[in-house]
A = this chain, B = another copy of it.
């Protein structure tokens, strides 16, 4: 039951029905491909005639193409299969991280076209934009050139204003009110560019996932743990953005209001207990604050190293992981109580040790969730190989073509 906003609504016009059904057809082809007209008619509970008209439009526009005939039928005329026409155009995804920046190119269905490439992140925004642009151009040249590029999706570890394309705050990059969109638009004038926060992008990657499309959840939370904690929330198939596009900052929920100091200035934030630095710090028996420079001995010691140590029998490493796991679970419990999602996705380096920490996480979740059902909320680990941030950046470009039209 959604209230119609009397200050911002969309009337149904003569073509609105067509528009709605068109998007449904595209979504169904995307998820069920390959598919015949008759299949669509059955799925949509309508007549084949209507489908013929809808598909004719899409064929004329070149969005859909006819392919081989189906031959696994028992009797009757064989169906002609329909496919999305995703070959001609491409999307470029960019993931800016503290140390390196990654690029990926896909077709409009999100299928990867080239290997992921990367370069060391430069912190001066204008110079960074120039270098990034060169890499994008190189990548596109290897394919079909800029003319084939339908959009560039850029993901940033920080708060962004998606309307102006300004990076409001990205502590990991030292950026404050950086007009990233402005810099990039100079280089790619006629290409749509989208800037988004990485936590939100990870959530987008899961709703718009093409592989396991049929099992996709429409209410989900993506929690990504690395230097900080990024969270993206999807409700009813739509990303929760909030008034200032800052919704989803669960990383700074307190575990104890006068606990460990956090980068954000407050104390006892969840992030301060479960970030990679927090775990490493715990291993070295120190309370390394994010606010202070790292001691030498820890500077080259990564969370991957710590997991290796734990696997090779280092008890201190294992107990450091277990404590992080407990705090991780306590924070997840809060998210579950607050959102009641049908699925939680977990990303970040520490999830490679999921087999070591799952029991501790689940115990902590059960400890603080309010009902038994909530305590059993399913969790799926998203491994780094799936590139959730890059896939989210892709979705920024490719998803609008399949999204529900705004109506009422």
Contacts and interface: CB of A to CB of B under 8 A. Distances in A.
Q: Which of A3, A6, A44 has the most CB of B within 10 A?
A: A3
A212 B214 CA distance: 43
The CB with the most chain B CB atoms within 10 A, among A9, A13, A214, A219, is that of A9
B17 A21 contact: no
A8 B21 CA distance: 14
Nearest to A11: B44
- Tell me whether chain A's interface is mostly helix, strand or loop, or mixed: loop
A321 interface: no
Interface in A1-40: 1-7, 9, 11-14, 16-18, 20-21, 23-24, 27-28, 31-32
Contacts of A243: 219, 340-342, 373, 377
A377 B246 CA distance: 12
4 shortest A-B CB distances, which residue pairs?
A242-B340, A12-B17, A247-B340, A404-B408
A302 interface: no
Nearest to A30: B6
A339 B233 CA distance: 10
Contact of A338 (B3, B32, B248): B248
A237 B4 contact: yes
Contact of A218 (B5, B236, B237): B5
Interface in A186-242: 207-208, 213-214, 216, 218-219, 235-242
Interface stretch (A97-105, A113-121, A249-257, A345-353): A249-257
A11 B373 contact: no
Interface in A160-193: 168-169
Given A253-B334, A407-B408, A16 B11 contact: no
